[in-house]
């Protein structure tokens, strides 16, 4: 089964945060089909640049290099994200749910 990871889960995994349940951490440590969206790296970089997310400064790069698979985002995905119902107001979440892992 493919997993698409939301930003908090990726951050908890990278920082070994106890907020992430042990069984989820264990699964992510061994899951070959876990995806991270470039939107997550963008969200982290933006939040760090405006002071809403703590250091380390290379957090976006650590996500990129985490070993998780990268979800490709295309122009079509951007169109889909823009047309999602307005119940999805967070632009990062909209970008996460537009493409599907293949």
**Sole residue written with tokens 């440590």:** 29
Q: Rounded to whole angstroms, what are the CA distances from 70 to 5, 23, 59? A: 11, 23, 16
Distance spanning both ends of the chain, measured CA to CA: 10
pTM, entire model: 0.76
Burial code (b: 16+ CB inside 10 Å, e: under 16) for 3-37 equals: bbbebebbbbbbeeeeebeeebbeebeebeebbbb
The answer, yes or no, to whether residue 101 has pLDDT greater than 70, is no
Strands (E), the chain: 3-4, 34-36, 69-70
pLDDT at 79 over 60: yes
Q: Which of 40-54, 66-80, 84-98 has the lowest mean pLDDT?
A: 84-98
pLDDT digits over 3-58, tens only?
Answer: 889 889 998 998 889 999 999 999 998 877 889 988 888 888 888 889 998 767 78
The answer to whether residue 102 scores a pLDDT higher than 80 is no
Paired tokens of 76: 């079509």
């Amino acid at each position: 089964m493919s997993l698409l990871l939301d930003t908090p889960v990726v951050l908890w995994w990278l920082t070994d945060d106890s907020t992430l349940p042990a069984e989820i951490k264990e699964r992510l440590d061994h899951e070959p089909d876990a995806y991270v969206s470039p939107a997550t790296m963008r969200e982290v970089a933006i939040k760090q640049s405006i002071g809403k997310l703590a250091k380390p400064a290379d957090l976006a790069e650590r996500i990129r290099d985490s070993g998780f698979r990268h979800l490709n985002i295309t122009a079509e995905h951007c169109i889909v994200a823009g047309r999602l119902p307005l119940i999805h107001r967070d632009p990062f979440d909209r970008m996460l749910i537009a493409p599907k892992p293949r």
